[in-house]
Amino acid sequence: MSTNEEAWQQGLATVDAVYGEGYSAMMEPYKDHRFNREIVTNQFRNLWADPALSIREKRLMVLGLTTMLGRADLIETQMTGALLNDEFTDEQLEFLPHFLLFYAGAGNTTALFRGIEAAKARVKASKEAE
């Protein structure tokens, strides 16, 4: 296996560790695109896999930043991975929007709340389908 292929495979393994088993499959068709290769081999293989912070700690930072963008869709993706990895209790999920309300404002924090609720519904539906 070449160094580039090894970096790609390691990155994909980290994608699945962050977002849930099988999530990386959607990246395979774009393997030869520079943008996607950079995300997989650098952002995931090097940064998300770096043990300086846990995946959960990194996710908390991403959630705060994504909340500031007001992007419920991106929050749903992060929260789905978090729920699949059992990273938060129900009490913690309820606390997150309450805490960020004072930093991100009501509008942006509403996106966090919507993203959390959508992720909870998605994970619940997938478990019921099993």
Q: Please report, as a single letter, which amino acid is at residue 24.
A: S
Closest C-alpha among 57, 68, 61 to residue 101? 68
Q: What is the pLDDT of residues 15-41, one digit of tens each?
A: 999 999 999 999 999 999 999 999 999
* pLDDT over 90 (residue 73): yes
pLDDT of residue 1: 76
pTM given for the model = 0.90
Mean pLDDT of the chain: 95
Contact call for residues 63 and 112 (beta carbons, < 8 A): yes
Longest CA–CA separation in the chain, Å: 50
Neighbours of 31 (CB within 10 A): 12
* pLDDT over 80 (residue 98): yes
pLDDT of residue 2: 82
pLDDT of residue 24: 95
- Please give the average per-residue pLDDT across 84-93, as a whole number: 96
Give the CA angle between residues 72, 80, 6 to the nearest 5°: 110
